[in-house]
Amino acid sequence: MNGQPTVGERLVIGNPGEDIFAFAAELYPICRSITGHGVRKTLRAIRSHVDLEVHEVPTGTEVFDWVVPREWNVRDAYIRDQRGREIVNLAGSNLHVMSYSVPVHRWISLAELKQHVYTLPDQPDLIPYRTSYYAENWAFCMPHRLLESLADERYEVLIDADLSDGSLSYGEYLHKGESEDEFLLSAHICHPSLANDNCSGVALLTHLAKRMAEVKTRYSYRFLFAPGTIGAITWLARNEESVKRIKHGLVVSMVGDGGGPTYKKSRRGDAKIDRILAHGLRHCGLKPTILDFSPYGYDERQYCSPGFNLPVGLFQRSQFGQIPEYHTSADNLEFIAPDHLALSYRLIAEAIDVVENDGIYRNVVARCEPQLGRRGLYGAIGGDKGTADANMAMLWVLNLSDGRHSLLDIAERADLPFSLVRRTAQILRDHGLLSVCDIGAEGAR
C-alpha cells in the first residue's frame, strides 16, 4: 500500500463502459434459455475474454429439491395467416416464443391461438418475455396491437423446438488471491434478447474478470455465469462444501440503465458486503436505494436460502420489476448506455477496493493529537473557518484508530468516502503516525 494505485484503481482503465457495452451488444442477439445452444454460445463468447471453466450437468441430475431439466433448443417459429403471411417470426425477435415451449405445428382458429398468446394490454407496442420451464406448454408473445389486428381466420403455428435430454451449462472463473477466502460475483445468463437483464451484468463481470487477471489481490474472486435459479442451485449443489469460503458476494444484474443505483442487502443484513455497498452508494453522488433483504429477486434467493445464508447481496441500477421496460422488448440496446455501465463498474470496483484495503490501525500518538503542523499535515495557519473541513478525515482517522475501528467503521462514522479515509490513512502511515493492527479485519461494528 505504499503509494501505488490500489486494486480498485487498477481495475478501472480507460473507459470501461465502451468495452462493456460492446460485449453486451455482441451477446444481445443470442437466443438463450436455461439450457441449450444459446447458453453455450454465450459461454464461448465469455471464454474469448476470460479463461472460463465450462461445466455440463446432464439432464436428470438431482440438485437438492430440483432435477436438471431437459435441454431446449428452438430452430424456427412463426405464426402465418391463411395467405401465408408471417405474423411473427423467431428471427424477428426471440422473445416471440415463450421459452421452453414444446414443439407444435398446426392450423388453429384465432380463438384457440389467443389461448397461446401473451401480450401487454397496458404496453400495447411491446413484446412481453415469458417462460414456462416447469409446465409443459407452448405460447407466442407479441404486441397487443398486433394481436388485436388479427382477422378471425385460421392460422398456421409452428414451433420447431427440441425438448430432449442433454445438459445444463454454466461457466466459472476463479481469480486466485493471497487468501482462499472468496468474493463471489454471479450473473444469470438465461435471458434471451434483454439488454439490461442481463447482457449488461454478464458483460460487466466479463470485463471485471479480464481486468482482474492482471491484478494481485488478497481475496480470491469467483465469477459465476449460470442460468437463473436452476443454474445457481446446480452450482451450489456441486460446491456445497467450498461455498463456505465465500466471505463476500454480489449478484450483478440490470446494471446498464440510468436508474438507481440499488443495493439489496443479504439475508444477514449486516454482512460486511452490506455495509460496504450501503456506504459506497451513499457517497456515489446519485440517490441510491438500499433495500433490506427479501426472498424475491435473482439468485441471491438461492445463496441466501436458510441452509446457506451466504453474505451475498444484489447490485442493480433500477430495481427489478420497478420499471416499465422490465421483461419486455423495450429492454433493448437503446435502454442501456456505456456511461451507466461505467458507473456501475466503478461502484463494484470501489466495493472490491474496500474489501481489499479495509483494515484496523492504531494511532501511534494515542494520547492527545499528534502535532500535524510540524509535519506539514495541517493548515499551518490556524483560525481559518475552512481548515476544519480540510482536515476532518485526518482527525477522524487519528481519533478512531484505536485498534478497534476499521477504516470502514471510520468512513461510516465520519460520513466520508472510504477512498478519502483510505488515502488519509496511507499518508498517516507514511508519516509514522499509524501502525498496522490487522489488515482485512472486521472492526468494531
Task: Tell whether 327 is in a known binding site.
Answer: yes
CA-wise closest residue to 226 among 276, 173, 182: 173
- Provide Rg for the chain, Cα atoms: 26
Instruction: Record the cell numbers describing residue 364, joined without a space.
Output: 501511534
Strands 246-252 and 312-316 come out as parallel
User: Is 64 near a copy of itself (CB under 8 A)?
Assistant: yes
The single residue among 287, 295, 444, 445 that binds a copy of itself, judged by CB under 8 A, is 295
Instruction: Record the cell numbers describing residue 347, joined without a space.
Output: 461502484
Closest distance to a copy of itself from the beta carbon of 400 (Å): 7
CA-wise closest residue to 188 among 26, 303, 305: 303
309 neighbors 236 (Cβ within 8 angstroms): no
Site string for a copy of itself, 103-122 (x = CB under 8 A): --------------------
- Of 142-150, 174-182, 369-377, 419-427, the window that binds a copy of itself (rule: CB under 8 A) is 369-377
List, as one string, the DSSP characters of 200-211.
Answer: HHHHHHHHHHHH
The single residue among 391, 420, 427, 429 that binds a copy of itself, judged by CB under 8 A, is 391
- Of 16-24, 104-112, 165-173, 361-369, the window that binds a copy of itself (rule: CB under 8 A) is 361-369
Closest distance to a copy of itself from the beta carbon of 385 (Å): 6
The single residue among 130, 188, 264, 265 that binds a copy of itself, judged by CB under 8 A, is 130
Q: Which is nearer to a copy of itself, 133 or 286 (CB)?
A: 133
> For residue 432, how many C-alpha atoms fall within 13 Å in the half-sphere facing its CB?
2
Residues 307, 313, 317, 323, CA torsion sign: positive
> Does residue 196 have a cis peptide bond before it, meaning omega lies within 30 degrees of 0?
no
Closest distance to a copy of itself from the beta carbon of 327 (Å): 5
The single residue among 262, 401, 419, 424 that binds a copy of itself, judged by CB under 8 A, is 401
99 neighbors 192 (Cβ within 8 angstroms): yes
CA-wise closest residue to 321 among 277, 279, 289: 289
226 neighbors 232 (Cβ within 8 angstroms): yes
Site string for a copy of itself, 412-441 (x = CB under 8 A): --x---------------------------
User: Is 289 near a copy of itself (CB under 8 A)?
Assistant: no
Instruction: Record the cell numbers describing residue 356, joined without a space.
Output: 481489499
Task: Tell whether 191 is in a known binding site.
Answer: yes
Closest distance to a copy of itself from the beta carbon of 25 (Å): 23
> Binding residues for a copy of itself, per CB under 8 A?
63-66, 128-135, 229, 232-233, 236-237, 240, 267, 294-296, 301-302, 304-309, 321, 326-327, 363, 365-371, 373-374, 380-385, 388, 391-392, 395-396, 398-402, 414
- Binding site listing: 191, 197, 327
